[in-house]
Structure 1
Amino acid sequence: MTYVLTELSIQDFAIIDKISITFNEGLTVMTGETGAGKSIIIDAVQLLAGGRGSVEYVRHGTKKAEIEGLFILDSDTHHIYETAKHYGIDIQDGMVVLHRTMTSGGKSICRVNGKLVTLAILKEFGKHLIDIHSQHETQSLLDADNHIQLLDLYDEKQITKAKNEYMRLFEKLSRLQKRHKELSENEQEISQRFDLLKFQKNEIEQANLVPDEDEHLEEERSQLANFERIYSGLQDAYNALYGEQKGLDWLNMANHALQNNSDYDTFIAEKAEEMSNHYFLIEELMYALRNYTETLQYDPQRLNEIESRLNEISRLKKKYGATVNDILEYLGKIEEELEEITNKDSHLSKLEQQIDEMYHDAFLEAKQLHDLRKKAAQSLSEDIHKELKDLYLEKASFSVSFDSKEKAGEHIKLHRNGLDSIHFQISTNPGEPLKQLHKIASGGELSRIMLALKRIFAKHQGITSVIFDEVDTGVSGRIAQAIAEKIQQISSQSQVLCITHLPQVAAMSDTHKRIQKHEKNNRTSTIVEELSKDEKINELGRMITGSTLTDTAKNHATELLESASKSKKHIG
């Protein structure tokens, strides 16, 4: 399955005048001098995914900044389809276009596939398509509230079925508990509610409503209010058909003309029969018009009665429902609730029994869900230890911490996740206690841990594009090479866009783009170009030396590319 950001267009954004960048599958690396605009491109993508904007992003001297991204999905199993269906947005040919405009006046206009949406909705789409990981930004993987969802995704096939069954029971249990609370708490509120319902019941019953009464009355009112037009129309139609030299007379003449010659021609015989049938149908229609006209009577008193009745019904509609049928349905609910309040004790007893039974079933499902998560947590820990070993954190310890109450027989309060509240913990050095992810101090260690987690979860999260913004800062040597290999591994599961200063990472790229500043007409702008193999060697050489490109640096860059090619084959 292929989910990729195919094209990104940016106009009048910060120092960017107008650029359109095409992206491919795999690993795309973006390099360039500090201040060339690399991070500005990531900022644009972040805003496209629903990030917070600012008028400062609008290029000086322009009225608005525009960002647009085209995403291609070759499978309709992507989570984005559920989101699109929920918000009534059509996805055709597997294409999703996100568009955002920010004006110099501070307004933000968002669109998904051409449909105007709120920023919150754009963010809903963005979180399924783009995952930006930077050294200075708190990511979803660092947020303990997301850890239980990530664990469930890790063993989705096993856990989803149990989770869905638990949620079905939990929602039923929650509704029962809510109703029990409403009935058992605050006698004063219940008494007031009872009086209100009695008043409403009496008011509706005194109206003596009949099902569909409003529709019938409105139809009758329309007829009486337009009596003259209706009567005149019927009379005109009848008079056009009946009488000498009128419609029916001419049809009769045509009928006789065909009948008189039907013996001489089969076509005429056939049409004579048709004409005869039509004549009799029109004759019946004429009589029907006459008879209906004779039944019509204009009754101004009846019209006043209807108006008065509809006004009364309209008053009730404002309180109890859009139609008479809705009001009668509401009356039924009132009667049920009144009966429930009147016999509160018996209903409470019945509810308590139902709650106990439902709690027992839900607890068993929650326990099963907990056991599946425990098993998944063990497997996840083993996988992450392997990833950390590849990143030279072989002495690190990773654990999934469960804060769960699972003792049978006790009435433990269940929640939406069952019995479990979890968070990921890690210790990077022997003898150190396990700590939550966000409490890890070392930036270099955190980058590697995040890469290990991203490697595990990229395929499970179903993210279209994973973006790394200088996550390799502060590392070098063998760790830099390990990070490069890990990022390349992630790109085999999701499209990866990476801004880097490490030649080891750049060498691993499937596509290498260089970002440069360009000055024209005393204005600075950013340009992006895709590098050929020779240009890539020169760029890597520049990254290695940090200054003048030398033959030694070019040779080193060539060796680095050859080594990266071998590593990619080994990884593949």
Structure 2
Amino acid sequence: MLSHLSIKNLAIIESLEFDLNENMTVLTGETGAGKSIIIDAISLLMGDRASSEMIRHDEEVAIIEGVFEVTHNTALKSMLKHLDIEAEDQLIIKRTLKRAGGGQVRVNGELVSINQLKVIGNYLVDIHVQHDTHRLFQTEHNYELIDNFDLSGHTNMMSQEYLQQLGNYQSTRQKYNDFKKNADEISKRIDLILFQREEIEKAHLKIGEYEQLEERRQIILNSDKLHKTYTQVIHALNGDGGVIETLYEAMTGTQYIATLDDTMNVTSTQVSDYYYGLEEVLSNMNAKLDELNYSPEELEEIEMRLNELQAIKRKYRMEIDELLDYYAKISEELTSVEDSEQYEQGLINDILAAYNELITSGEALNESRLKLAKQIENELVSELKDLQLNNTQFEIEFNKMELSDPLKDTFISHGLYDIQFMLSTNKGEPMKPLHKIASGGELSRLMLALKTILNRGQSISTIIFDEIDTGVSGQVASSIGSKMKEIARHKQVLCITHLPQVASLANHHIHVTKNEKNNRTVTSLSYLTIEERTTEIARMLSGDNITLQALENARQLLQ
């Protein structure tokens, strides 16, 4: 439960700090005093979207802090472990709004994101504001209500599985539609890459060929100079008095010395290595000299081949290795689309498989919802009787969508069936869709009844009603108050109301006022004593001109 709330610089609230109690607490006061701002502050702690316009005029920062007692909220504690947040008995949420942007949220001192805060809030507080009643007219809200009635969470998991299957089906459908849409473009593309593949094949490209040919070309073009230079080097190495002959004499000499002096073994080996190394150099030079033999036809062939390779490189604006990669790519592309009928049939088979899996998932989800719907119908009618709707008939109607063509059918994200809330509040009248017959007061009671049954067994310990009693009076108002008090036996209930019948049933009563301070409007609040409650309820009964009869009626309501 929410045990303490602190609000600073939010709208007309300069500074409020107060404790909250168990059971049922009402907030009353004149319109515009700031009651709903207090609820807005709690909503911000639950992850609602913030705006710089919410910050009090002439202030740069607004701060909201709430203390929640979570000793027995095991589901929340389990979730918090995944966020590395420790929580034993209390959870302190602090949210800072900055006019310049960049506000932050801390939970027990740890920074969290707004999305993480929303998840945490789902375990703490259920807030019903005035416009929430009209969510009953939104079909997608009906699915959410039914799925959340399953406290095990199994139906919500099935709903997520259905969404995954729907995503898979839509993906395969999109792939097929893209294929059909681009059939002409694909045909033109095939003609192009067929030509390119044939052209690249005829070029007989090889990695490194261009570089090798260019090197051979340079050798041939410079063969006269090379022949002369090779010859000079060979003569220097092996001619009369050449290096090799001289080194040979040095080698035989050092070998003889080494037989007499062991310390010269290393030197002898080094000289031998030099000699044999030069012998190998000489052999290589002779081989290169022999390679200088060429014919004019060889140079012509090289020139033609280089021109051919240069032309294809220039045409595709690619190097040889890039051309070979491109060839492999278009070959793979042709393999996948050359037999377009087979490829299309493969896509259709994928669609049929995904379609059948989606139908199976959707039917299983609907079976679970049907069972939940029967429980909701029975429990809701019972709750509505407590709220002065004795002749109410309520039914959750399931209508399966028309499905006939896996390639064209349209699915919705909530399932295979449209869900409609059907209602009749008058005996003998047929049930009709909720939005066609329900009055504002009936909608408020229907929402309260739904809140009553949906919150049973859930980990949420605080429920907030912001004027859920709008549009009702008299005995109906009393029944709404009684229902909230019934909920408050197991949950903490905070309620904004303008009805004395509701206010009189609360365990605690907070009065919210607005005053002027330094030429600025400020909000203040106080817990009322029994005498003050009598006066406040009398004011709610008769207005600012409180009569003795109003005071007496107020005392009777409080008894």
> Which band: TM-score by shorter chain?
0.5 to 0.7
1:379 paired residue number: 375
- In structure 1, C-alpha distance between the alignment counterparts of 2:464 and 2:528, rounded to whole Å: 20
1:144 paired residue number: 139
Closer/same/farther in 2, CA of residues 192 and 148 from structure 1, 3 Å limit = farther
Give CA-to-partner distance per residue, 1:534-554, whole Å, 9 cap, x none.
Answer: 554554455445447777766
3-state SS in 1 of match to 2:97: strand
Closer/same/farther in 2, CA of residues 409 and 465 from structure 1, 3 Å limit = same
- Report how far residue 383 of structure 1 moved: 1.9
1:75 paired residue number: 73
> What code does the residue aligned with 2:494 have?
L
> What code does the residue aligned with 1:507 have?
S
Closer/same/farther in 2, CA of residues 190 and 71 from structure 1, 3 Å limit = farther
- In structure 2, C-alpha distance between the alignment counterparts of 1:181 and 1:498, rounded to whole Å: 53
Tell me whether 1:27 sits opposite 2:21 in the alignment: no
Closer/same/farther in 2, CA of residues 534 and 190 from structure 1, 3 Å limit = farther
Correspondence for 1:480 among 477, 484, 505: 477
Give CA-to-partner distance per residue, 1:249-287, whole Å, 9 cap, x none.
Answer: xxxxxxxxxxxxxxxxxxxxxxxxxxxxxxxxxxxxxxx
Quick check: 40-49 or 160-169, which moved more? 160-169
Correspondence for 1:9 among 6, 29, 41: 6
Closer/same/farther in 2, CA of residues 164 and 60 from structure 1, 3 Å limit = closer
- Report how far residue 122 of structure 1 moved: 5.8
Closer/same/farther in 2, CA of residues 186 and 491 from structure 1, 3 Å limit = farther
2:501 paired residue number: 504
Closer/same/farther in 2, CA of residues 61 and 360 from structure 1, 3 Å limit = closer
The CA RMSD over aligned residues, in Å, is 4.5
Higher-Rg member (1/2): 2
- Report how far residue 499 of structure 1 moved: 1.0
3-state SS in 1 of match to 2:389: coil
- Report how far residue 60 of structure 1 moved: 3.5
Closer/same/farther in 2, CA of residues 374 and 499 from structure 1, 3 Å limit = same
Closer/same/farther in 2, CA of residues 473 and 179 from structure 1, 3 Å limit = closer
Equivalence map 1:115-154=2 (5 Å): 115=111, 117=113, 129-136=124-131, 140-154=135-149
> What code does the residue aligned with 2:393 have?
S
- In structure 2, C-alpha distance between the alignment counterparts of 1:416 and 1:355, rounded to whole Å: 18
> What code does the residue aligned with 2:3 have?
T
Closer/same/farther in 2, CA of residues 174 and 339 from structure 1, 3 Å limit = farther
- In structure 1, C-alpha distance between the alignment counterparts of 2:527 and 2:334, rounded to whole Å: 74
- Report how far residue 482 of structure 1 moved: 0.4
Q: Is the 8 A contact 1:440 1:446 kept in 2?
A: no
TM normalised by structure 1 equals: 0.61
Tell me whether 1:467 sits opposite 2:467 in the alignment: no
2:62 paired residue number: 65
3-state SS in 1 of match to 2:144: helix
Point out where structure 1 has 5 or more consecutive residues left out of the alignment. Answer: 209-330, 563-572
Tell me whether 1:37 sits opposite 2:34 in the alignment: yes
1:449 paired residue number: 446
* % same residue: 38
Quick check: 524-533 or 444-453, which moved more? 524-533
Equivalence map 1:1-400=2 (5 Å): 4-49=1-46, 51=48, 57-73=54-70, 74-78=72-76, 81=79, 89-93=83-87, 95=91, 97-103=93-99, 107=101, 109-113=103-107, 115=111, 117=113, 129-136=124-131, 140-155=135-150, 157=152, 159-160=155-156, 162-163=158-159, 166-167=162-163, 169-188=165-184, 190=186, 339-400=335-396
Closer/same/farther in 2, CA of residues 37 and 363 from structure 1, 3 Å limit = closer
- In structure 2, C-alpha distance between the alignment counterparts of 1:65 and 1:125, rounded to whole Å: 21
> What code does the residue aligned with 2:138 have?
D
Closer/same/farther in 2, CA of residues 136 and 164 from structure 1, 3 Å limit = closer
Q: Is the 8 A contact 1:148 1:423 kept in 2?
A: no
Closer/same/farther in 2, CA of residues 364 and 36 from structure 1, 3 Å limit = closer
Q: Is the 8 A contact 2:355 2:406 kept in 1?
A: no
- In structure 2, C-alpha distance between the alignment counterparts of 1:336 and 1:530, rounded to whole Å: 78
- In structure 1, C-alpha distance between the alignment counterparts of 2:540 and 2:95, rounded to whole Å: 34
- In structure 2, C-alpha distance between the alignment counterparts of 1:151 and 1:541, rounded to whole Å: 41
Closer/same/farther in 2, CA of residues 338 and 169 from structure 1, 3 Å limit = farther
- In structure 1, C-alpha distance between the alignment counterparts of 2:464 and 2:458, rounded to whole Å: 14
- In structure 1, C-alpha distance between the alignment counterparts of 2:167 and 2:328, rounded to whole Å: 25
1:403 paired residue number: 399
TM normalised by structure 2 equals: 0.63
2:211 paired residue number: none
3-state SS in 2 of match to 1:421: strand
Equivalence map 1:426-437=2 (5 Å): 426-430=423-427, 434-437=431-434
- In structure 2, C-alpha distance between the alignment counterparts of 1:207 and 1:128, rounded to whole Å: 67
Closer/same/farther in 2, CA of residues 390 and 26 from structure 1, 3 Å limit = same
- In structure 2, C-alpha distance between the alignment counterparts of 1:39 and 1:167, rounded to whole Å: 36
Point out where structure 2 has 5 or more consecutive residues left out of the alignment. Answer: 208-326
